[in-house]
Amino acid sequence: MRRLPSLNALRAFEAAARHGSFTGAAAELNVTQAAVSRMVRLLEEWLGAPLFERRANALALTDRGRALQPGLSDAFDTLARSVEAVMAMRGGPVLTIGVGATFAVRWLIPRLAVFHAEHPEVEVRIATGGAGQPIRDDWTCAVLLGDGHWPGYEVERLFTATMVPVCAPALARTLRRPEDLREATLLSVSHWADDWPRWFAAAGLPPPTAKGLSFGSYAMALQAAIDGVGVAPGAEPYIADDLAAGRLVIPVPQAVPMGRSWYLVYRPSRRESPGFAGFRAWLRTIVQAQAAI
């Protein structure tokens, strides 16, 4: 009979040791920092010894922590490889794509039917991710918004992000000049709060003084714009389908670079793997076709 502590506690410690912080471990494991700290504390109590020295801005492994971490990392790597091997026995390639929720809903998923028709043998899985999340070991690839800096990974630029104001057609009839937006209800995204200040600065205008509405994601802000609530920051390519369908319009054609881009990110070893090679080629064809419009 194996005498082992909690598997969750072991995962929490191993992730914290690898990241050097409870914050990084929490982001990887999709739990709170307090939860990671609590699980590590339980493991230390089970072992009867501290595994970390808690410092102001970082964690430092103790001698016991240094002795435990390599074996755990190897064990979890072995588990991941075993799971991947079993998944590969399904009879066809599995493609797991880590992607932000808004990009998935507003651009990728509406186009996946075409990919599936061309590659019916590939099982596609969409995993929740984003620029603020680490790239998980079980992802085949990721489509992320950022600055292109992911050490150890192959990175291919897909879209350069630009921002334009977008709103419902009825509201657009009242907005003819950049100045008109200073009086409009502006919809913003909480984690990209500089979108509107950047846009007004590019238009040569002072920032608006009236308070607007803030949302937790571009998906929510754009839905509010479709419903006529106000004017949203329209980030390409989130708005491509809504513009084509007439659900959104650009009242003032002032486009501003957002200072970041979407990238296809993957490990070098994945380049020719079944499923991914076809997805990569398909994705680049779609991107090139959209750029030519």
Question: Is residue 20 scored above 80 in pLDDT?
Answer: yes
> Pick from 89, 159, 121: which is nearest to 279 by CA?
121
For residues 237 and 290, the answer to whether their CB atoms sit within 8 Å is yes
Q: How far apart are the first and last CA of the chain?
A: 64
For residues 196 and 165, the answer to whether their CB atoms sit within 8 Å is no
Cα of 132 vs its chain's centroid, Å: 6
- Could you say which architecture CATH assigns to the domain 7-88? Orthogonal Bundle (1.10)
CATH fold of the domain at 94-156+261-283 = D-Maltodextrin-Binding Protein; domain 2 (3.40.190)
Q: Cα(214)–Cα(240) distance, rounded to whole angstroms? A: 22
R_g (Cα) of the chain, nearest Å: 23
Q: Count of CB atoms within 10 A of residue 1's CB?
A: 3
**pLDDT tier, 83 (very low <50, low <70, confident <90, very high otherwise):** confident
Give this prediction's pTM: 0.64
SS3 call for 129: coil
Task: Enumerate the CATH 3.40.190.10 domain ranges in the chain, comma separated.
Answer: 94-156+261-283, 161-260
Task: Enumerate the CATH 1.10.10.10 domain ranges in the chain, comma separated.
Answer: 7-88
Compute the average pLDDT of residues 84-95: 70
Q: Which residues pair with 59 in a beta bridge?
A: 54
| CATH node for 161-260 | 3.40.190.10
Q: Count of CB atoms within 10 A of residue 117's CB?
A: 8
Tokens of 81: 């490889």
Tokens of 193: 């709060």
For residues 286 and 197, the answer to whether their CB atoms sit within 8 Å is no
Highest mean pLDDT among 87-91, 123-127, 249-253, 254-258 belongs to: 249-253
Question: Is residue 251 scored above 80 in pLDDT?
Answer: yes
Compute the average pLDDT of residues 132-141: 76
What is the DSSP-derived secondary structure letter of residue 105? I
pLDDT score, position 45: 93
Question: Is residue 292 scored above 70 in pLDDT?
Answer: no
Between 279 and 77, the higher pLDDT residue: 279
pLDDT tens digits, 260-290: 899 999 988 888 888 899 999 999 998 888 7
> How much of the chain exceeds pLDDT 90, in percent?
46
Q: Cα(158)–Cα(224) distance, rounded to whole angstroms? A: 27
